[in-house]
Each structure stands twice: as C-alpha cells, then as structure tokens.
Amino acid sequence: MGIPSVPWKIFTGNEILDPNMLWTIRVAVEFGEDINLPRAVGVTAEEAQLIGQQYLKEYRERGLVIYYPYFIALKSGIIEVKEKQVVIEAVRGDLWNLTSKGCRDVTIIYDINPPRSRFFGKPDFLKEHEVQELHRYAARVRVKYKDYIFDRNSIMLEWSYAVNSDIKKRPIGESYLVFYELRMLSS
C-alpha cells in the first residue's frame, strides 16, 4: 500500500543484531488475531537472540517470529479515514497516552467537501509537514479501501513519529513515521 510500517524481519536464529541498540522480538501470525502473543520489547541484542530461539522452538509451526529495532515514540496518534472526513488525533509520546490515558494534544478534523480543517487543542503540536505527510497516507488508504469507506464505514490507522534507541533508551538517528495498525471499523 506504500505506507511506512514497522521495519520487521523474520527471525531465523542466524541474525547478528547490533549490540548497541535495543530490540523488539515477538511472535506474529500471518492471518487471524495476534493479540496476547508473546513479545519482548526493548531488550538487548543478546536477550533478543535467546528469546527468539525460545519463540522459534515454541511457535515455529503456528506463527512467525519477527524482530525490529526498539523505537521510542516522540508523537503518536490515530487517523480515522471516513467518507467525508479525515480525523487526526495526536499526543506526545506513546500511543498509550491517547488510547489508555485519554490524553490528547491536538485533534484535526479535515472535511473533504468543501475542504476545510478545524483544530482542537494545540494547533501547532504537529508541524505542517507532519500534517501533510499524515494526510498523504490517509489519501492512499482512502483510495485502497474506497468501497469499504463509501459503504459508511471507516479505516483507523495507528501511527508514531519515532526514533530508534541505544541500549540506555536514549534516542539515536533521525525520527521517522511508522504505522503499526490498520483497522476496519463498521458503522
């Protein structure tokens, strides 16, 4: 679909993980629910190797073992793509702050026709280029799932602007946008 996602790779047990970074290793399924599957988040390369081997033994026949660099969310949120609107909600830090704690720094409601944006909260929380980038990916989702959306349903995406982490949980590298969940919502 052309949207940036978690840069995961399949764990085979032969990987050489950078010991200067933290890692996430988890079990995933190709189809079906992946809620409550085991995961180790923010572990050292050595721990990721050991845990990955354990997951391979236990889940090889029923799922995939995947790994990716542990990342720190700088800003997170959701985008809901509807027939006549796109709603962007954003919060500082992890998405958990929005979904579980109910914190919100900004909500942007973009009406499609006639085009207009309304801001609630801190209008400058997201930089203009971040808002444009989120809108660009919302447009891709709208095209891909147009039949579903125009049947009075919506698509919700979870996203973060994130950075990778060193072994002391300090940010390293440039920030990047990552989407990690896409859900179809029925009306």
Q: Could you read off the pLDDT of 92-124 as tens digits, one per residue?
A: 999 988 988 889 999 999 999 999 999 999 999
* Whether pTM exceeds 0.75: yes
Residue 77 has pLDDT above 80, yes or no: yes
Is residue 159 a contact partner of residue 178, using CB atoms and an 8 Å limit? yes
Question: What is the residue range of 44's domain?
Answer: 9-69
Looking at the structure, do residues 122 and 156 belong to the same domain, yes or no?
yes
**Same structural domain for residues 88 and 172?**
yes
Last residue of a domain, one of 69, 97, 120: 69
> What distance in Å separates the CA atoms of residue 183 and residue 109, rounded to the nearest whole number?
19
pLDDT for res 62 = 84
Burial letters 62-84, b for 16+ CB under 10 A, else e: ebbbbbbbbbbbebbbbbbbbee
List pLDDT tens digits, range 14-45: 999 999 999 999 999 877 777 789 999 999 99
Are 48 and 93 in a shared domain? no
Total structural domains within the chain: 2
Across the range 51-57, mean pLDDT stands at 96
- Judge contact between 65 and 57, C-beta under 8 A: no
H-helix or E-strand spanning residue 57 = helix 45-59
Percent of the residues in the chain that have a pLDDT greater than 70, as a whole number: 98
User: What is the pLDDT confidence band of residue 178, given thresholds at 50, 70 and 90?
Assistant: very high
Q: Which residues is 113 bridged to in the sheet?
A: none
What's the CA angle centered on 96, arms 91 and 97, to 5 degrees?
A: 40
Same domain, 51 and 139: no
